[in-house]
A and B are shown apart, each in its own frame.
Chain A
Amino acid sequence: MLSFRPHTRMSEPGRRERVDVADLAAAIERLAADLALAEEPSGFTVVLESDPDMREQRD
C-alpha cells in the first residue's frame, strides 16, 4: 500500500523573497519583449556546437 507524506509548504515568501521574485520576473518580461518567435531553449546547444572559428574570417 502506498502512503504519502502530508504535503507541507515552505513558509510564505518573506519580503525579500517577494522583492527578488518580482525583480527577476520584471527583468525577464522586459528582456523578452522583442524575443523572436523561433527562439527556443535547445538553440543554446546549437550555438555552442556550431561556433565557427572566426580567426580565418578576421585574417
Chain B
Amino acid sequence: MTDWTITTLGGAIAGRQVSPVEVTRECLERIARLDAKIRSFITVDAEGALATARELEAELAAGLSRGPFHGVPLAYKDLCHVRGLPTSCGTATREYFSAEHECTAVNRLREAGAVTLGKLNMTELALGPFGDNAHHGDVQNPWCPGHVAGGSSSGSAAAVAAGFALGALGSDTGGSIRLPAACCGVVGLKPTYGRVSRAGVMPLSWSLDHIGPLTRTVADAALLLGIIAGHDPRDATSSRRGVPYYERLLDTPVEGLRVGLPANYFFDGLDAAVDAAVRAAARILEGLGAEIVSVRVPDPRPVVDVSNVIARAESAAVHARIARERPHELQPAVRARLEVGFHLTAHDYLQALRLRTRYARAFVAEVFAEVDALLAPVIPEPAPALDAVKAGTVDEVVMRMGRFSRLTRPFNGLGLPALSVPCGFSADGRPLALQVVGRPFDEATVLRLGHAYERATDWITRRPALA
C-alpha cells in the first residue's frame, strides 16, 4: 500500500491487477494496526468503505470505469460534511457541523469513484498550525513520533504519509494544508481563492478559506484538483473559469520559466537546514532550465496584519455560539484566538477587507510582471516537538502559532495558488519543504514546477519507518 500513488493504483485497478475491495481492505487493516499511534482518524467508516468498494468492483466487472479515481481509497478532514458520517471539526462535540448537502469536493470525488475511508483528525476548529488536539489526541508525525504533524489538516497529512489513504482533502485558512504537508513529507496544494468550492465545509473565515488536496505526489495533486475544481452554484465565491486538464500539462518543460527567490521576508530567521534545502531546490530547477532570479516582493507583513483581522473577526462570528455558551469545551489557545475577534470593530474589519484588495492588486502586478512563480520555504523550521509547542502560557503558545505560519499566511490573504513539495530532510530525519506560488488561477505552472522538481529528486520514494 505504501508504494501506490493515486496514478499508479488507478491504473492497476483499471487494468484489473488489483481490486477496489483488496486495496480498501489493505488500507483499513493498516489503519487498524497503526493509527492508534498516529491518531490521524477521528472516524473510520470500515463498513461504508467496503460496501462502496464492492459496488465499484461490480461496476468494473460490468465494464464500467469512472476513471482514475475508480476504487481509490481517500479520506477527508473532519470539517467536510460527508453523507452519513458525523463532523466534529476537531471539537468535543460529535456532530458540531452539518450541511444540507454533502461537501461538494467530497461529492465530486465520490462520483469519480473514490472510496471514503473516514474522517481525519485536525486542530480544534482548524485554529492552529501544530495539529495538537486535546479531544481526539495529538496527531503524531509519522516520520518522528513526538513531533507535530502540522495543522490544522494534521490527520490529512499524517494519514497520507503513513500510507493509510492514497490522498486526502484539507482546508487552508493560513497554511493549514501546506504546513502539515511540509511537516509530514507529502504534497499539499492550496489553490487560488475561488478555484475549489467550499460548500459543505465548516467555515472558519470565509474570506480566507480554501479547500485542496494532500497527496504523495504532485501528479496526484493535479489529478485530484482536476476533479474538485470548478464552479459550484452552492458557493457564490467559486469561479466560473474553465478547469484545465492539469495532469496533461505537468510534463511541459520548465525551461524558460522565470522563477523568483524572494530577497526579503521569506528567508529571514530561517532554520539553516530549511534555508539550504530551498536554495538547493532552486538550483535543481535552474539545472532543468528555469531562470532563477532574486526578487524583492512587496512587504507581506501588512497582508498578514490584514489577514489576521479578517480571520479573527470572521471566525468569532462563525463560532460565536460555542465560544459564548460552552467556552470551557475549547482548548485555551483556541478560545484565546476566538476571543480577539469579539473585540475588533466593524470599522477594523471593513478596512481590512478594503486593504486586502489593494495589497493583492499590488502584489500580483509587481511580482508577476517579473516572474512566473515564486519559491519560498513553507515552515521556518523542521517539525518541532509537541511538548515544546504546547509548553508555557497561552500567550506564548499563540505567539508560537503565528511564527510557525508566517510563511504561508500571506498567500491566503493574497488568494494565490501555493504548493508545498517535499525537498529533503533535516539531519535527524524531519521532512523539509518547498513552497511554489503562482499567479491567480495558474495552478498549472505551480504544479508543473513542483512536478519537475519532484521528478529530478528522490524524496518521495522515502517512507516513514512504521511497524
Contact = CB atoms under 8 A, between A and B. Distances in A.
B355 A24 contact: no
Contacts of B340: 13, 17, 20-21, 24
14 contacts: A10-B342, A13-B342, A14-B336, A17-B340, A24-B340, A24-B344, A25-B345, A27-B305, A31-B302, A47-B360, A51-B368, A51-B441, A58-B258, A58-B370
B302 A44 contact: no
A50 to B, nearest CB: 9
Contact of A53 (B305, B312, B324, B439): B439
Contacts of A3: none
Given A16-B395, A48-B415, A54 B192 contact: no
Interface stretch (B31-39, B89-97, B169-177, B346-354): B346-354
Residue of B353, B354, B395, B441 ringed by the most chain A CB atoms within 10 A: B354
Given A28-B309, A43-B361, A35 B344 contact: no
Contacts of B239: 48-49
Interface of A: 5, 7-11, 13-14, 16-18, 20-21, 24-25, 27-29, 31-32, 35-36, 39-49, 51, 53-55, 57-58
Nearest to A5: B325
Contacts of B350: 41
B364 interface: yes
Contact of B302 (A8, A14, A27, A54): A27
A45 B258 CA distance: 25
Contact of A9 (B308, B324, B355, B368): B324
A54 B369 contact: yes
Contacts of B305: 24, 27-28, 31
Residue of A39, A51, A57 ringed by the most chain B CB atoms within 10 A: A51
B22 interface: no
Contacts of A31: 302, 305-306, 351, 355
A32 to B, nearest CB: 4
Given A16-B394, A54-B368, 4 more contacts: A16-B398, A36-B358, A51-B368, A55-B372
A42 B353 CA distance: 9
Contact of B241 (A14, A29, A41, A49): A49
A14 B4 CA distance: 50
Interface residues of B, number: 50
B194 A35 contact: no
Contacts of B339: 10-11, 13-14, 17
B415 A51 contact: no
B356 interface: yes
B21 interface: no
Nearest to B395: A16
Given A10-B342, A49-B241, A51-B364, A40 B357 contact: yes
A5 B357 CA distance: 39
Interface string B165-205: 00000000000000000000000000011100000000000
A25 B350 CA distance: 11
Contacts of A25: 344-345, 348
Interface in B292-351: 302, 305-306, 308-309, 312, 323-325, 327, 335-336, 338-340, 342-345, 348, 350-351
Contacts of A53: 439
A48 B194 contact: yes
B237 interface: yes
Contacts of B415: 44, 47-48
Contacts of B146: none
A25 to B, nearest CB: 5
Contacts of B368: 51, 54
B354 A35 contact: yes
B440 interface: yes
B293 to A, nearest CB: 12
> Sorted from nearest, which 4 A-B pairs have the closest CB atoms?
A43-B357, A41-B353, A48-B440, A27-B305
A17 B441 contact: no
A15 B342 CA distance: 14
A31 B302 CA distance: 7
A27 B439 CA distance: 27
A39 B192 contact: no
Contacts of A43: 357, 361
Residue of A31, A32, A49 ringed by the most chain B CB atoms within 10 A: A31
A29 B358 CA distance: 15
Contact of B358 (A24, A35, A51, A58): A35
